[in-house]
């Protein structure tokens, strides 16, 4: 018997299943005017393309803080590897009987059990709900930009009718993603909210999109392989790979090199929620709340500005608004220094399939300045979440990108202010680890972690993450 969730998932696959040709005794020629009857499709979840916008101005919330229950420990303890983690000989031979022809033994969800596409733990539900919050804001943001800026505004930024049609299609993709996760979660799935964007021009809209999709994509990579529900993870994988394409397209619209890294980075859920929550103004009173932490905000004061021919001349505050994922400010760059529509080879940053700029946006040894907030600030939907930290004093800057976690020393220059120098680290030879749109955070410790257990850094995060526009 199907559950509601698994039935919805089966319906989602129905067009592909029903489209397969049925066996026939002989081919039958269809009339030239024949049009196949449409295959019934599952309904999309209810949504509005563009909601209301602006900062939250409503009453004080009656509930504040993350969703919580009893704690079993102050943090997850660090343990040695599983004793069986290295027992497989990995010699290219088969070591167990095959359950069926051409089917090597092992794997998860490979024993023929019918898949059920639902949440199977608190971890699953909270992770998928976070992903749904992200899908909702992207659906709104993409359509909002098209409704807010004129055709002339887009064309002045180098974006044609074809480009605008692509942005609209990407917004429509988000409706499918929101429908998918809503069907997995059921009646308690978070619904659409209202939002507040730090955007005044098309160029800022595009840059904000490439940053928002960066932490949305990375936030899913961080939890995908930890889900108890392998079935839900499979469907989420097939949506997040679409978002990866969106992020690259917005980089191309931003005049950036489309994919300057060898590996895409994953981040913990609390990092993604910290970056996302400030842009959500309000949600319905009965909205499902999240369990993830909101860290104090971190600001990169001299974040490289991709609107400049030479981003290394970026001054302080060349972003719109004061947020950890703030877009570039296209209005502060003198005309002589702007790269948009520049005709010099290597200096142009107009929308293109690829732009290989002569001057990199950043470099090893670049002095990077930070400021950060104290904990206790109300953020997120209806100002109902509170920033917190369990870390000590800030000592290090954690640089998180590709497969790497690199620490540099933080030099304190005043209250909640300091600087460090961009590290010279590589993932492999000829692949600088610090590149693209990446993440930085302030920490009290420099513990060694890898992509699969990066969330264990959370107890030591003082502030952040913030996005750093390295390339």
pLDDT given for residue 7 in this prediction = 37
Angle made by CA atoms 326, 330, 335, in degrees to the nearest 5: 155
Which residues touch 37 (CB under 8 Å, ≥6 apart)? none
For residue 466, the cross-strand partners are: 440
Among 432, 438, 431, 458, residue whose Cα is nearest residue 218: 438
Rg (CA), the chain: 24
Phi, psi of 285 (to 5 degrees): -60, -30
Count of C-beta atoms within a 10 Å radius of residue 121: 12
Which three-class secondary structure state does DSSP give residue 408?
A: strand
Phi/psi at 466 (5° precision): -125, 155
Mind listing the pLDDT tens digit of every residue in the chain (471 residues)?
333 444 344 334 333 322 333 334 444 455 556 677 777 777 788 787 777 788 888 888 877 788 777 777 878 888 889 988 899 999 999 999 989 999 999 999 999 999 999 999 999 999 999 999 999 999 999 999 999 999 999 999 999 999 999 999 999 999 999 999 999 999 999 999 999 999 999 999 999 999 999 999 999 999 999 999 999 999 999 999 999 999 999 999 999 999 999 999 999 999 999 999 999 999 998 899 999 999 999 999 999 999 999 998 999 999 998 899 999 998 999 999 999 888 898 999 999 999 998 899 999 999 999 999 999 999 999 999 999 999 999 999 999 999 999 999 999 999 999 999 999 999 999 999 999 999 999 999 999 999 999 999 999 999 999 999 999
Q: Are 216 and 243 in contact (CB under 8 A)?
A: yes
Task: Return the number of other C-beta atoms located less than 10 Å from residue 71's C-beta.
Answer: 7
Q: Are strands 194-195 and 280-282 parallel, antiparallel or unpaired?
A: antiparallel
Among candidate residues 305, 244, 300, 310, the one with its CA nearest the CA of residue 275: 300
Q: What is the pLDDT of residue 49?
A: 75
Q: Measured between alpha carbons, how far apart are the two ends of the chain, in Å?
A: 52
Sequential DSSP letters for 125-139? HHHHHHHHHHHHHHH
CA nearest to 349, candidates 330, 373, 325: 330
Q: Which pair of tokens denotes residue 80?
A: 């040695």
Residue 75 DSSP one-character state: S
Q: Are 49 and 171 in contact (CB under 8 A)?
A: yes
């Amino acid at each position: 018997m199907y559950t509601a969730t698994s039935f919805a998932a089966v319906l989602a696959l129905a067009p592909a299943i029903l489209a397969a040709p049925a066996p026939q005794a002989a081919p039958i020629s269809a009339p030239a005017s024949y049009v196949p009857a449409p295959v019934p499709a599952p309904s999309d979840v209810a949504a509005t393309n563009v909601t209301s916008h602006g900062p939250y101005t409503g009453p004080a919330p009656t509930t504040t803080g993350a969703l919580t229950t009893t704690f079993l420990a102050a943090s997850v303890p660090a343990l040695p590897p599983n004793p069986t983690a290295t027992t497989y000989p990995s010699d290219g031979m088969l070591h167990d009987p095959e359950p069926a022809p051409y089917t090597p033994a092992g794997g998860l969800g490979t024993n023929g059990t019918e898949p059920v596409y639902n949440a199977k733990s608190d971890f699953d539900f909270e992770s998928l709900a976070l992903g749904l919050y992200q899908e909702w804001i992207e659906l709104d943001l993409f359509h909002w930009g098209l409704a807010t800026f004129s055709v002339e505004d887009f064309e002045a930024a180098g974006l044609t009718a074809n480009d605008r049609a692509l942005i609209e299609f990407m917004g429509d993709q988000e409706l499918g993603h929101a429908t998918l996760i809503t069907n997995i979660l059921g009646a308690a799935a978070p619904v659409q909210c209202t939002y507040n964007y730090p955007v005044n021009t098309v160029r800022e809209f595009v840059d904000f999109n490439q940053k928002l999709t960066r932490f949305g994509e990375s936030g899913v990579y961080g939890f995908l392989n930890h889900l108890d529900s392998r079935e839900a993870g499979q469907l989420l994988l097939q949506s997040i790979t679409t978002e990866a394409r969106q992020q690259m397209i917005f980089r191309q619209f931003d005049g950036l090199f489309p994919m300057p890294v060898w590996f895409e980075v994953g981040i913990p859920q609390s990092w993604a929620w910290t970056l996302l929550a400030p842009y959500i103004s309000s949600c319905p009173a009965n909205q499902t709340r999240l369990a993830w932490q909101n860290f104090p905000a971190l600001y990169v004061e001299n974040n490289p500005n991709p609107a400049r021919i030479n981003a290394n001349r970026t001054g302080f505050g060349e972003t719109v608004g004061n947020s950890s994922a703030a877009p570039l400010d296209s209005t502060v760059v003198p005309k002589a220094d702007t790269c948009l529509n520049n005709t010099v080879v290597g200096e142009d940053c107009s929308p293109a399939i690829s732009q290989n700029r002569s001057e990199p946006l950043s470099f090893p040894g670049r002095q990077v300045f930070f400021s950060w907030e104290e904990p206790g600030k109300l953020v997120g939907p209806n100002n109902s979440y509170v920033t917190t930290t369990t870390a000590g004093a800030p000592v290090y800057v954690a640089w998180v990108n590709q497969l790497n976690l690199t620490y540099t020393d933080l030099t304190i220059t005043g209250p909640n202010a300091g600087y460090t120098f961009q590290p010279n680290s590589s993932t492999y030879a000829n692949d600088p680890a610090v590149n693209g749109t990446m993440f930085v955070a302030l920490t009290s410790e420099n513990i060694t972690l890898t992509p699969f257990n990066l969330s264990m850094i959370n107890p030591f995060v003082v502030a952040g993450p913030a996005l750093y526009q390295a390339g």
